Structures are given as structure tokens and as C-alpha cells.
Structure 1
Amino acid sequence: MKTNLITKEGFESLQKELNQLWKIERPETTKKVTWAASLGDRSENADYQYNKKRLREIDRRVRYLRRRIEQAKVINYSPEQEGRVYFGAWVEVENEQEEVMRFRIVGADEIYGRKDYISIDSPMARALLKKQVDDDAIVKTPTGETLWLINKIEYSK
């Protein structure tokens, strides 16, 4: 189940994308559709068909973003979080093979295009929540269990 939690930065990013789509891309695409439609036969008009398809994609994404923004619960940093893993934390972990990973625990809408972000809904994040430095976390995945040691916890303030 997808949570509605989001960082302040993630919320601002969604709003920025929505504004870009609604105020810039959609009006431009609408003009292109109108222009292409004025040329006549739409059945063989590639400009018309492409831009009409793009307009549907924009509208679909705008609807999604509006719903997510409306439902989102922005979680701000709190000094009480220091020393433990909570939403928004940058965490460095190490496994028994001495492989080190560093990532930030964020909302599901924030992970796309970022290799250093993981969703709060992921097995890794769930296993790390409320733990502190030098604690072990057993991460249960479909391929089995892995033991991770928490090396460092930081928060963006």
C-alpha cells in the first residue's frame, strides 16, 4: 500500500511539475492541436495525432498530480528525530560482505529518477525505521533475509 507521506522538497517538486504541465506545456500543445486541425484531414495528419496524444498524456498526469498533491502529507524535519531512522533520513548501511549503501527514505512519489532515494514502503525502509547507529536490521525480501548494520543517520534541515 502506498503511503501519502512526502518531504517538503518532494511536494514542491510535484507542484513545480504540475505548474509546468498546466501553465506551459498544455497551452502550447493545445495551440499545436488547433493549428494541425485547421489543416483539414485529421486521419492522416501526424502533427494532429501526435499532439492530441500528448494532450491526453498531459491531462492524465495533471489529474494524477492534483490527486497526489491533495492527499499528500508533508513531513518536516523535527529535532526529536535525531539519532534514529525516520522519514526523510539519509541512512548509510553496510552488510556482512562490507557493501555500503547510502540513501534517503522518502515518499513513493519521490523515488523516480533517483538512485539514492528509497520509498518508505520498501522492505529496507520498514526494517530500518526507529533504529539507531550500530543497530542491526534484518531486511526481508522475496529472495530471503539480509542483515544490515546502520553506520550513519543524517537529516536535511
Structure 2
Amino acid sequence: MRKGFTRRPQAEEPAGHGKNYITPSGLDRLKHERHFLLTRERPAVVQVVAWAAGNGDRSENADYQYGKRRLRQIDARIRFLTKRIEAAEVVDPEAPRSGLRMVKAFFGATVRYVTATGEERVVSIVGTDEVDLERNHISWVSPLGRALMKTAAGDEIVLHAPRGPEYLTVLEVRYERIAVEPFREPLGAEVSTNGHDR
């Protein structure tokens, strides 16, 4: 073991400030979701709203009220995704690296470490839009992500977690493809237009 040091988690950066680091597949997922909302979901809801608007009193028309509310949600999500895509700073974990960038953990690294109780874990450090705890994808601004940054095999760290300090030893830092769950259309996404006679 080379050295021991302590890392205290810092507050997460406010949304919209700083860079939006993201992997190529994470950016693809955001773009696919935005494309789906713009080309399929929004037009389908607009059709429902137009159909419902022609059915008389809008104040008591549940289809119309729900459709307008859903349209606002979709538009807000499209604006959010557009901002995240525009602020994206793509970092490819598979890109060639040299020097310390090959052996130290930075954004896109997959880190294998062991806890004080001997439990081995593997996490990949990804962007805030790519967090997936089932796949062990953690955000680079999370307490663990920040603690692992710039570590190398053999480093010991103390992670100050809410339940108390955790002692970790880094076993391996590697860079490889990180499989981000692709965007999947929600089940019944366009069902809202079915059943309405136009």
C-alpha cells in the first residue's frame, strides 16, 4: 500500500453549473429520449388535446385537462434534456490515455476496491445523468465518486459517509466501455391516442 489519505465529500454542484461530464453512450441516451419526446410523445399528446378540445366544455373535460398537464411535463423535460445535451462534456472511457491518466481514477474509470470488512466492490464513475446503482454506476460528484477521484491501486482512503467513516483500499483502476442502459420507450407511450375517434 502506497499511502493513506482522507477525503471529505464536498457538496454537489448545483444543477446547471459547471460541466456536464458524460460518457458517449450516456449522451446518446439523452438524445434518444429527447428525439422520442419531440417526434412521438409530444405529437401524440397534442392530438389528444386537439380531440378533447372539440368535445365541449374544457373546464370539465378530463382528457383535455390531463393532456394539457402532460404537455407541460413533456415540454419541461425537453427543455431539461436540451440544456443537459448543450452542456455535455463527453469523456470516452475507452479513449487512449497516457501517464497518470492511465493509472489514476478520473471520470470514466472503473474502480475495484475493498472495504475494511474485506468486501470487494466495483464501481464505474459516470455523469449525473447516468447514475444506475443496479449497474454500480456512481456519479463523479457523489461522496464515493469524489473520494475515489485521483486514487490509484494501493491507495487507502477514508470515506466520510453519513453513517460514519468507511475505510477503503483501491485494488485496481481501469478504463473500459461503460454500458449505460439505453433509452427505452415507455410501455404504452402512444396508447393515449388510441380509442379516440377523430
Instruction: Establish whether residue 45 from structure 1 lines up as the match of residue 65 from structure 2.
Output: no
State the match for 2:78 in structure 1. 62
* C-alpha deviation, 1:130, in angstroms: 1.6
State the match for 1:117 in structure 2. 137
Conservation of the 8 A alpha-carbon contact between 2:113 and 2:120: yes
Instruction: Establish whether residue 105 from structure 1 lines up as the match of residue 132 from structure 2.
Output: no
Partner deviation per Cα, 1:90-148 (whole Å, 9 max, x = no partner): 11221111222222101111115755111111111111112112221221233332111
Over the aligned positions, Cα root-mean-square deviation in angstroms equals 1.7
SS in 2 for 1:121: coil
SS in 1 for 2:32: helix
SS in 2 for 1:85: coil
* C-alpha deviation, 1:82, in angstroms: 2.4
SS in 2 for 1:5: strand
State the match for 2:185 in structure 1. none
Q: Please, which moves more after superposition, 12-21 or 89-98?
A: 89-98
Q: Counterpart of 1:13 in structure 2: which amino acid?
A: R
Cα–Cα, structure 1 residues 144 and 89, in superposed 2: closer, same or farther, change >3 Å? same
Of structures 1 and 2, the one scoring higher in RCO (CA 8 A, sep 6+) is: 2
Instruction: Establish whether residue 34 from structure 1 lines up as the match of residue 50 from structure 2.
Output: yes
Partner deviation per Cα, 1:17-36 (whole Å, 9 max, x = no partner): 11011111001110111011
Partner deviation per Cα, 1:64-98 (whole Å, 9 max, x = no partner): 11111111111123322322211111112211112
Q: Counterpart of 2:112 in structure 1: which amino acid?
A: E
Q: Please, which moves more after superposition, 24-33 or 1-10?
A: 1-10
More helix by share: 1
The match for 1:86 among 100, 103, 106 is: 106
Q: How many Å separate the matches in 2 of 1:22 and 1:114?
A: 29
Q: Counterpart of 1:31 in structure 2: which amino acid?
A: Q
The match for 1:130 among 147, 150, 166 is: 150
Any unmatched runs of 5+ in structure 1? none
Q: How many Å separate the matches in 2 of 1:135 and 1:61?
A: 41
Q: How many Å separate the matches in 1 of 2:134 and 2:49?
A: 34
Q: How many Å separate the matches in 2 of 1:103 and 1:35?
A: 49
Q: Please, which moves more after superposition, 105-114 or 132-141?
A: 105-114
State the match for 1:19 in structure 2. 35
Q: Counterpart of 2:48 in structure 1: which amino acid?
A: K
Q: How many Å separate the matches in 1 of 2:176 and 2:42?
A: 34
Q: Counterpart of 2:61 in structure 1: which amino acid?
A: N
Q: How many Å separate the matches in 1 of 2:50 and 2:126?
A: 41
TM-score by length of structure 2 reads: 0.73
Q: How many Å separate the matches in 2 of 1:60 and 1:51?
A: 14
